Amino acid sequence: MNSKKKKFNYSIILTACIKPINMPFLERKSEIDRLKDYKETFNKWCQNRLIEKIIFIENSGYDLNFFHEKAKEFPNKTIEIISSNHNNTFEKKLGKGYGEYLCLKEIFEKSKICEKTDFFIKITGRYYIKNYIKIFQEFEKKRSDIYICIKDNLTYADSHVFAGSKIFFLNHVLPLASETNDSNGIFMEHCLAKAALHGINNNLSFNHFTTYPNIYGIIGTNNKRIKNNFIKNIKLFFLGKIKNYLLSHKKY
């Protein structure tokens, strides 16, 4: 009998909006700055030895020639570049989170990589995860349908990086993310938390982050560089352990 564990079939999803026109609740608006962010992080993700498949989607109709050319430098990887103009097709009061939802929707409708992939790690395209190895190893080991950081009484989930199975994305993330409306205080993070709880209620396996993502990047909302600290890492480790226990056992 072959006891060798099946290879972990996953892809990372990088979402991008280079030219966000009239987008509310956004301080990092310059297409020059945003393009620089995306170029830098895309190159880092392409160089990451743990990643074999990348789906990069940009939703403002921007020229993506740089990304196509950069992808050619990594022939050993499967890299898909998707361009759309969806960011210019919806009411901006819905916010950037709604644009993110449209990116995910298009990926699961059109991506060739998606058709042959079981698990996904979604990452905001301007961010690089410095401790990605630990994040990946934790996800690969558990291979949970839902892998996420959820807080605020289970009402808010970090959207800059989360992961899960195709079933989780298709049956829970997409339907609930469509309810995003920043102007009404319904952010992608609220919808993502609800998606996770719906998934758990439908018997999907769940694993909370116990490694805090060490993110390199600038926050779009306030145009400030993300700061990571040791205390956050320790808090998330123990809180993650507790949440994993409570949500996977009936004895609480």
- Residue 7: C-alpha distances to residues 10, 46, 140, 143, 144 (Å): 9, 20, 9, 11, 15
At 162, list the tokens. Answer: 């989360």
pLDDT of residue 1: 42
SS3 87: helix
Q: Is residue 2's pLDDT more than 60?
A: no
Long-range contact list for 68-76, CB < 8 A, 24+ apart?
70/39, 70/42, 70/43, 70/46, 71/46, 73/46, 74/46, 74/47, 76/52
- More confidently predicted of 106 and 248: 106
**Tens-digit pLDDT profile for residues 100-154:** 999 999 999 999 999 999 999 999 999 999 999 999 999 999 999 999 998 888 8
- The predicted model scores a pTM of 0.90
3-state secondary structure of 244: helix
